[in-house]
Every structure is written in C-alpha cells, then in structure tokens.
A and B are shown apart, each in its own frame.
Chain A
Amino acid sequence: MTATAPMPASVKKPQNVQKEDAMWLQKELINSNYHDLATAHQNGRKVSATFVPGNLNELLMCFDFARSLPETNALQNGMRKKSGKMIMDAERDGQSEDVCTYVKADLGMMMGGEIGPTGEVLPRPDLLLLSYTGCFTFMKWFELIRHKYGCETVMLHVPYQGEGRIAPNMRDYVVRQLKETVIPTLERISGVKFDIDRLRQYMRESQKAEDDLVAVLQSAKNRPSPIDGYFGAVYYIGPIFTAFRGMPEATEYYRVLRREIEQRVREGKGPVTPEGEMGEEKYRLVVEGPPNWTSFREFWKMFYDEGAVVVSSTYAKVGGLYDFGFRHDADRPLESLAEYCLGCYTNLNLPSRIDMICRYIDEYQADGLLINSIKSCNSFSAGQLLILREVEKRTGKPAAFIETDLVDPRYFSAANVKNRLESYFQMVKAKRVAAGAH
C-alpha cells in the first residue's frame, strides 16, 4: 500500500450505515470531545493526555482538564482509514516495524500537524498523566511525547496483579501516590484547588453509568443476544472508558442505551449490525484480544454474515471489570480510584484471565473462544496460546486463533482471516452435529 493510495471505505462513507440510536449518540459524544480538545486552549483550559486502562477521568475533571486519550485517537484514526499513512510516517522517522502501531499512529499524527480524527487540530498536552496499568509500552510512549513536546509528566505506578488479587498494601501504595504526587501536580498545572466533594459527585455519576453498562453487557446472556459483546460493545464502552465517565452526559447515554437494549430483549431481537438487524443467531462466541480497527466493518461482517455473535469479550473490560462487581465509590473516592486502576483487564495475570474467559463461556453459554492476536501488542498477546489451551481443556469448547493488528492496515489479510473464521464456525457446527450423531 502506498501512502497516497485512496482508501476505498472512506470513499463510500455516505452509504446507509445502520446504528442503534445509542450508537449515534455515542458518536456525537466522541466527536464533541474532539471539539472540546480543539478549543481547549482558546477557552483557557489545560489539556491532559492519559491512557484508557485505569484512567483517572473523574480526578482530571476536578481540575477542569480537557482529556485526550491517545489510544482512542489512534483507533479513531484507524477506523477512519487514516492510520496507515501515520504509521508509515512514524517509521520513516525511525520507529521500528515492530513498535506498537497505536504509538506509531500517534507519532505520525503529530508529524502531520496533530490533525485529529475529526479533522480538528488537537492541542499539545499540558500534562501527560501516565497511569501505568500492565502495558509497559505506555511508559515509552509518553517518554517519546515528552521528548517531543517537553511537557510535564506525572506517573502513577500501579502494581501488577501477579498473585491474581489486590492486596491492601497495593491499594495503599496507589492512594499514597495519588495524594503525594498526582493530585499536587494536577493542582499546580491547572491552578485549580482539589475538591474531594467534586470528585465524589463525579463518582456518583460514574456509578450510575457503570450499573447501566453492566446491564447492557450482560444482556448478551439472553438468546438471542440483543447485542454483540465485542463489535457492538466497543461503541458502548467508548464514553465510559474515555473522557466521559463521571459526566451527566455519559450517565444519560447509558440510561438510553440500557432502555434500548432492554426493549430489544423484550422483542426477542438480535444485535444491530452496520447492515441492519442480524439474522439468525447460529454461534455464540467469547473473544479475547482487541479488534482490528482498520478493517473493523469488514471484520465484523465476517461474523454476522455467518450468524456469529460475540456474547462476551475481554476487550470490553479493558477499562474496568465492572461486571465482577467493581464500582466507583463516592464514599471511598481515592481508594476506589486505586482499585479501579488495579483491576483493569491489562493488569490481570494469566490465570485470572483464563478464569474470566472460562466464566464467560459458562455464564453466556458460548460455543467457544476466539483469540484475535494483535501483532504489535505484546501486553495482550503474551501467553495467549496458553490461555487458548487451558480454556479448551477446562471448558471442552473449541477455540481458534487469528492474527491481525490494531491500526496497521498492512496486517489485516482479509482472505486468510475469513478462511480461518469460516473454518472455526464450521468446526463448531460439525462438533454439534457429531455430538448429535454419535
């Protein structure tokens, strides 16, 4: 692919794409944040960049920061077919082929004048808030940005859940950093004094939204599932995992979404796909790993065309594992922020991830596990084959493995992925037939 090659999907954009009402609302929210960012400095607001997993959105809002999430920027650029050129620009600038493609898309975007996914110029951040949750690359990523822009960096070190649980001293360690380093830095840079009651108020909003999100994600336990817990869920998790958690707009979004989904359950309807209502539900899957963004629609189509619905995915928990009970708690604001950071999916060890997937397969009555292994994401990919074997062994359900990438369009081989997926679906079907016949 050359840098100037036109991307076909962006050309045929105006076609009639079907979305749920909540999906349109979600799109508006995400776009409005880009506008907020673009106008932040004009409006006298400071900008903080911070990563999605275990982000401290409520805390940043206490200091009136506009929030920019680099992974979201990269994936939005990926979905809008802009990331290919950005990645190649970053490679030309000296980044290796094996570096995380989110990082390269971000660096490439900077080189192109920081023009964001919506076409508005994104501001230089005033602060990089690095909450380090399981992904080592995050640290290097902000190091590169700091080097480029010379902006201030504050790091929150979140201990890895190596033992598969959050020990009290781990939580205390995070809380202490919040008190001693993070909050003072945020105060200094923003010029706003920290008000813990303001934080509590945001957290109450978060909690309402979290309850509704869990109800939406768990609606997939119905047959047919009214949602796709992977391709659909990436829309649903957008606001809560990014700049909107804690805002009344997000709470309203999740209220509307939940109402919409509960209506679908009552009507016995399946998920809405970009081409309308999905046909008969033939396969129920659990998916591990992030989706491919550059060919997102094509990728999704390979599932719904075959009647495959993802009932649950680990990726939809990348910003927090609400379905196992965690909620932001206004009564213990800093402690619950710490627990939130500690509990996000990328911070879990392999046995915990395996337990979680087995539990999903059981609770959501799934036919099996599919792993989408991301070429440039070591955090997710390390150990995935072990996960696959162990889940197969424990559940007796078939598992399959495909390989794509996040936002590098060169690593999505449609024919191969499709071939593998079809084989997998047929394998599930053949096993069912065999179970009936023998």
Chain B
Amino acid sequence: MRCFIGIDLGSTTTKAVVIDENQNILGRGITNSRSNYDTAAAIAKQEALVNSRFHLFREALGSAGALDGALDAFLAQLERDFRSEQYLEQLGDLAATCQRSLATAKFGDATAAVGVALTEVFGRLAAEAPQLFAPGAKRKSDFFRDIAGSQYLATGEAVAKEAGIRYDFLLNVFDRSIIEVENRVYGDSIRRHLLAALERTFVALPDTAARRQQVEAPIKGILDMDMEETYVVGTGYGRARLPFSKEHIRSEILCHGLGAHMMHPGTATVLDIGGQDTKAIQVDPHGIVESFQMNDRCAAGCGRYLGYIADEMNMGLHELGPMAMKSTKTIRINSTCTVFAGAELRDRLSLGDRREDIMAGLHRAIILRAMSILARSGGIRNEFTFTGGVAKNEAAVKALKDLVRENYGDLKLNINPDSIYTGALGGATFAWRAVVEEGKVAEARQ
C-alpha cells in the first residue's frame, strides 16, 4: 500500500506520522533526536511504520472477528512482547559492544574482572526485562537509552560492589558503547521480532492460542504486505539531513499550520510553544499559512524557560504545572528573560511568597510573551489551536485561556492529545498533496 510520511526532526525528539491514500493516520513514531538526525529520522519513521502495522492488525483482526472481545488485550500483549523482543536484541547488542569497548579500555589488571562483572550485569538485565514489559508496568521512557541506562546504572552499582571492582569502570564502558548501539537501526529485525512476539503472546494468552489459525492469517497477511514509502516530507531543525531533494523539505511553520488544520479543520490561528521557539501562525481554510511570527533574537518565553525554572526549583518539568494550579494569589513576574525570571523567582521566595503562586506568575509570564507574538501575527481568530510541549502544561493552558478571554472574548480552543505530532502530520499531509494533488514522485538528495 502507498504510505505518505512526515518526519519532524526536533531539537529534543524526532516524530514521524504515516497516513494512507485517504489521509487516515495509520501510525505515529517518536524517538530521541540523540544529536544524530540521520538515525533519529530512520528510527522515528520505522517506529511509525511499526505502529501502522499494529493499526492494520487491529483492522484486519477486527473485520475477521477472530478475537471478539479480546482484541484490545491481545494487541496490547502483542505490542509488549514485541517491545520486549526488541529490547532483548538491543540489550544483547549492547552487551557485545561493551565487551568490545572493554578490550580497548585501559583498565590494566582489572580488565578481566570488569569483563566478568559485565557478563553478570547483562545477565541480570536480561532476567529483569520481562518485568519491564509486563502488563501495567510503568516505564519512565520508551527510548532504549533511557530504559537500559537506568537499569544498567542500578544493577551495575550493585554488581561492582559485590565483585569489588570500581563502578566507574562499568560507567566508562557503558558510555563508550551506548551511542554506537543507539545509532543502530534494527529495520531488518522487525518482522522476526513480530513473529517471535506473536508466539509469546499465544503463550501469555492461552485462550487466543486456540484460535491461532484465525489470528495468525490476518497478521501474516499484513506483515507480508509491502508498505511503500511513496513520499516523505521532512521538517524541523534537522530537516536538511533527510536523504531527499529540497522538494521533500518543508519548514516547520508550514507543517504546524497544516497539521493543526488536519487535527482541527476549523483552525484559523495556531500557537506552538516548543523547546526553543514560539510560533504564532495564521492559516487559511485549507491549512495554508497566511502569516506567522516567531520569537526573534532571543528565546525568552519558549519551553526552555520552564525547563530552566524547573532546574532552579530542583523540580521535574512536569511538576511545575500541577504546582501552579494550586495557586491562590496572583503574583506578577515581569521578566520574560529566562535568566532574570530566575532571579525574580528567588527574590520572591526570599520575600516569603508561596511557590505555588510564584509558579502561576511564571506561567502567566510565558503566556504573556506568546500573546505579544500572537498580536504581532495578526491576533487570535476562531478556532484557536495550541500545540507544542507547553500545551501539555495545565497551568500554561489555564493562563492562556484567561488571557484569550480577556483580550479576544470567547473562542474555541483546541488542544490535541497528539499535538506533539502536529508538525509530522502536516509533513505527511504535504507528502500526500505532493503525490495525489500535484503528481510528484520522490527525488533523492543531490
């Protein structure tokens, strides 16, 4: 089948969206940008294609009626088993890479002991793997670096102590190996992993095993189907890294505008507050950008502002919003400069103001900055769609709602739970339009 793919290479994460001939979203994928856009783009795309296959499994199994009532549980189990398979392969790879790194490390007499310890660490990690992907297990991140990293650090410390070797030897080997493993794309293993995961799922859910024939046929049918990457459009700061001609590249402003239009077709104004910039975009009824404004010369008031405040407060980024929601008093933070706001924050604390109230003031300050960029772009029109990482922050959303009502009256505000994929969806839609409406074919990078 023909697939149209958008890839958004952001500074922190890289996102991909796959849509079909009828502009239905088939799948989404996300990975950390890992300062290697080539790999990030390849992995995000692969993730989105895997996600698309799961979407198609669901459709095929649903229409075959093979798993009436048990479909959701089956697919959830299949996905966990698939992730587990993937994780184990990467873990094996990491173990081998660590041993190779050890050979070139200059640990002297300790080398042999470190080798033994590594074997022990990876043995334990493999044994713990099933728990990580058990039903209901909570993972802080789905990126291999994060999962394997946190496991390795904890287990490694214990093993080092038991074996009487230096913990930093283990850290050194890990640090030198993880990037290499992280930058490997396991594209060829997908089918194998899915088939292995299917076997595990039949074991985990014995009821479904009884219907093996009916279940296996549609899944294998989908697996055998070629998902043709008909056209890919790249956007985001790393867009120039994509292996396609300029025709395949769109600015993230255009992609955000179109993506927001695809998610909420009534969108007229888009506000996107991302990690390193804030964009105000006006779109026409077809999702085409009419005008835009961005923060210039300085990054004040973008998502990084909250990141800085979180660091200053020694809190997690995701704790800021909930804390600000507990505010009972308005405190004005004047500075839109990130660093100065930090100074104002400490000043306020020393004056005895409550952290909750200061937090609410900081959220309002960031939104005030966005309001000024919105005003420059031509104001807010109905409907108004808010995207970007900061749209997930409830205190920022509250401040925005208040300020929009004060300045523009009652408007419909859209915030999509998948808003992180807005740019990638816009890219995928541009890919679709290029082929279906403009008759273009893919061109390689010159």
Contacts and interface: CB of A to CB of B under 8 A. Distances in A.
A426 B294 contact: no
B294 A420 contact: yes
A392 B252 CA distance: 22
A430 B292 contact: no
A427 B438 contact: no
B293 interface: yes
Interface string A363-381: 0000000000001000000
Contact residues on B (Cβ < 8 Å of other chain), bracket: 20 to 34
Contacts of B251: 419, 422-423, 426
Interface string A425-438: 01100110110011
Given A389-B378, A423-B251, A426-B250, A434 B293 contact: no
B250 A401 contact: no
A357 B286 CA distance: 28
Nearest to B376: A385
Nearest to A411: B297
A434 B286 contact: yes
Contacts of B254: 423, 426-427, 430
Interface in A383-422: 385, 389, 392, 398-403, 411, 413, 415-416, 419-420, 422
Contacts of A433: 433, 437-438
Contacts of A423: 251-254, 289, 292
Contacts of A398: 290-291
Interface centre among A389, A415, A430, A434 (most CB of B within 10 A): A430
B88 interface: no
Contacts of B293: 401
A434 B288 contact: yes
Contact of B289 (A419, A427, A437): A427
Nearest to B438: A433
Interface in B366-381: 376, 378
Main secondary structure of the interface of A (DSSP, over half): helix
Interface in A106-136: none
B291 A399 contact: yes
Contact of A416 (B286, B294, B433): B294
Given A401-B376, A426-B250, A427-B253, A392 B294 contact: no
A433 B247 CA distance: 14
A423 B292 CA distance: 9
Nearest to A393: B378
Interface in B429-444: 433, 437-438
A419 B277 CA distance: 12
Contact of B288 (A375, A385, A430): A430
B378 A403 contact: no
Contacts of A430: 254, 288-289
A398 B290 CA distance: 6
A37 to B, nearest CB: 35
Interface string B291-334: 11110110000000000000000000000000000000000000
A166 to B, nearest CB: 33
Interface centre among A375, A403, A420, A422 (most CB of B within 10 A): A422
B225 to A, nearest CB: 30
Given A411-B297, A413-B297, A438 B250 contact: no
Nearest to A401: B293
Contacts of B250: 426
B296 A400 contact: no
B38 interface: no
Nearest to B379: A389
B394 interface: no
B93 interface: no
B438 A392 contact: no
Contacts of A413: 296-297
Given A400-B291, A423-B254, A427-B253, A434 B284 contact: yes
Interface string B255-296: 000000000000000000000010000001010111111101
Interface in A174-190: none
B288 A427 contact: yes
Nearest to A402: B296
A117 to B, nearest CB: 26
A431 B283 CA distance: 11
Interface of A: 375, 385, 389, 392, 398-403, 411, 413, 415-416, 419-420, 422-423, 426-427, 430-431, 433-434, 437-438
9 contacts: A402-B296, A413-B297, A419-B237, A420-B294, A423-B292, A426-B254, A430-B288, A431-B288, A431-B290
What 10 A-B pairs come out closest when comparing CB atoms?
A423-B251, A423-B253, A403-B296, A427-B289, A430-B288, A434-B288, A422-B251, A426-B254, A434-B286, A426-B251
Given A427-B292, A434-B286, 11 more contacts: A389-B378, A398-B290, A400-B292, A415-B237, A419-B251, A423-B251, A423-B252, A426-B250, A426-B254, A427-B253, A437-B438
